[in-house]
Amino acid sequence: MTAHAKLSASGSARWLNCPGSVNAEKGVRDKSSFFAQEGTAAHALAEHCLVNSVDAASQIGQTFEGFKVGIEMSDHVQTYVDYVLQFTGEHMYEVRVDFSPWVPEGFGTCDAMIIQDDGTLRVIDLKYGQGLRVDAEDNTQAMLYALGAYEDFGHIYDIDTIEVTIHQPRLDHVSEWTITVNDLLTWGEEVKRKAAECLEPNAPRNASDKACQWCKAKPTCPALKTLTETAIITMFDDVGAATMPPTDKLTDEQLKQALQHKKLITGWLDSVEAHIVERLTEGRDFDGFKIVEGRSLRKWSDETSAIATLSEQYDDEALFKKSFISVSQAEKLVGKKNALTIADFIVKPPGKPTLAPESDKRPAINLQENDFDAC
């Protein structure tokens, strides 16, 4: 495995926060997924549209990376394409950038890069997934691409500002962030130190949200196990009980510890379960557990015949349920050009109140006791 494969830009949030994860992931099988393959196809479609100056809609029915382009993918990719094309300057797509001066053998592929006449370098990253919202601020993957782009083109163009964009069309989310070249290069020196630490045989393991989220070694990580045990034990301090104490008996600090580490703890437990399921699925034993058939719901074996039989005795009103299409479905139905025809009928009610850490950028709201139930 090459150093680039170990210290990739896409995995930088992990190895920059947990240097020991690089060695820990050695030998752990890398699994592809439907969503990853779909994202690869969307990127290929976007590149084709940008390079050949065609609309994504013209590619409906065509196949990219094993995926046939449908209306949904076409609409979302076109949103990204439109965003990229709004900027003037020198455009480059799916361009390989070299950040090896900071990360040994480090290089990656930038989805879109634009060098503007005003000294701005735009690094645009398309993320086609819809499971996790990603922000541009301090995004290490995009910042490594920016370092590589500056290394490759800084001696040709007069660049003083980097504009990072994360574009997630399926979440209707565009995040932009600006950093000066000087600040980027200062960060690069810290990256160089951490990258060197990652390649040490006894690099430390550090459990955190960013480090553990996509780590393949999560199920067997001693640092994450220790953090989990520490967080749970902390909740027993001064309580003197052998069972989990009721929440109203915990101190504010104990409650804070539980909330701060909830995501890590549940994520670790989920990864342990997935690890055991994989072992059993491969035919290996695991003492105390087995794979069993889960609960299922009855369904029609031949819906057409069932409809024919029931229609002899009952009318359509009794047999079929009708519901009005959603806002998203309606927008796809009328298309972007006619979206204003239904705009007056659409409202966006307040989201359900949810607990968030103080670092969250959303403003706090004033609540009554029953507001959580009312939403």
Q: φ, ψ for residue 162 (rounded to 5)?
A: -110, 130
pLDDT for 243 equals 57
Report how far residue 318's alpha carbon sits from residue 323's, in angstroms, rounded to the nearest whole number. Answer: 14
In this predicted structure, what is the pLDDT of residue 257?
A: 72
Q: What is the pLDDT along the chain (375 residues), one digit of tens a residue?
A: 333 347 889 889 999 989 988 888 887 776 667 888 999 999 999 999 999 999 999 999 999 999 999 999 999 999 999 999 999 999 999 999 999 999 998 899 999 999 999 999 999 999 998 878 899 999 999 999 999 999 999 889 999 999 999 999 999 999 999 999 999 999 999 999 999 999 898 899 988 878 787 788 888 888 888 877 776 666 555 444 445 566 677 778 777 877 777 777 787 778 778 888 888 888 888 888 887 777 888 888 999 999 999 999 999 889 988 888 888 888 888 887 888 999 999 988 887 877 777 777 888 887 654 554 544
pLDDT in tens, 81-132: 999 999 999 999 999 999 999 999 889 999 999 999 999 999 999 999 887 8
- Can you list the positions of beta strands (E) in 145-273? 161-168, 173-180
293-352 pLDDT, tens digit each: 778 888 889 999 999 999 999 998 899 888 888 888 888 888 878 889 999 999 888 878
The two three-digit tokens of residue 79, written as one number: 């949103």
Read off the tokens for 59.
Answer: 């590619």
Q: How far apart are CA 342 and CA 332, in angstroms?
A: 12
Cα 321 off chain centre by: 36
The Cα 200–Cα 193 span in angstroms is 11
Domains in the chain with CATH codes:
3-198 (3.90.320), 217-281 (no CATH), 303-343 (no CATH)
What pLDDT shows up at residue 4? Answer: 39
Instruction: Decide if 169 contacts 328 (C-beta within 8 A).
Output: no
